[in-house]
Amino acid sequence: MSLVGKKFPNIAIDAMSEMGDDLKINIFEETTKNQQKVLLFWYPKDFTFVCPTELHAFQEALGEFEKRNTKVIGASCDTNEVHFAWLNTAKDNGGIEGVTYPILADTHRQLANILGIVDQDFDYDEEGNESFTGSNVTYRATYLVDETGKIFHEAVNDMPLGRNVKEFLRLIDAYTHVQKHGEVCPANWEEGKDAMQANRTSTAEYLASHSN
């Protein structure tokens, strides 16, 4: 079930800083108290394959997110200790040394289960015995949360599929344009391109002026 348009869960989760500090981070409070947007991205596991490419990609774009008043936070179900070990592993050895944003350690899957992004399933045999299937780690879920704590974008990739970081920058630009100007953003909209008023006339004018 989609969470877009709803408030992000108001819950504090353990996290690790790049300096090795144990933190508690509440995404809802990060947005509302600091009046900033948050991009929260979940990945399956530390010390894996696609995951470090994504963490480094978000790090490389960190300045662009900061320009947009957006805080980047990573998340998985690994422990703080494993996060810190990975943060101290060199990039050329599959590590994430150089990553500076915090990483949630949702080891009890408390938040991940609320969001419904854990690869797990339960079944019962004829005797009523419970059996578990799945990896019990999260899919590649991404949430964009605005300054009121409202989720304005969510996406969930299967585990083999890495994300396009630039698309999240575009979505933040589009949402910020809507916030500032009250206009709506058409397909493939980018900063500096024409937007529309939310009415039939404006849509017709836009389609007429942007036809191939």
Interval 137-182: pLDDT, tens: 999 999 999 999 999 999 999 999 999 999 999 999 999 999 999 9
Told to judge if 185 belongs to the known catalytic residues of this protein, a careful annotator would answer no
Please say whether the beta carbons of 38 and 73 come within 8 A.
yes
Q: What is the rounded CA–CA span in Å between residue 114 and residue 108?
A: 11
Q: What is the mean pLDDT of the chain?
A: 95
Q: What is the rounded CA–CA span in Å between residue 40 and residue 30?
A: 11
Residues 36-83: tens digit of each pLDDT? 999 999 999 999 999 999 999 999 999 999 999 999 999 999 999 999
Of the candidates 16, 38, 51, 137, the residue annotated as catalytic is 51
Q: What is the rounded CA–CA span in Å between residue 38 and residue 19?
A: 21
Q: What is the rounded CA–CA span in Å between residue 132 and residue 167?
A: 35
Q: What is the rounded CA–CA span in Å between residue 84 and residue 87?
A: 5
Structure tokens at 106: 């949702």
The closest alpha carbon to 12, from 101, 152, 111, 141, belongs to: 111
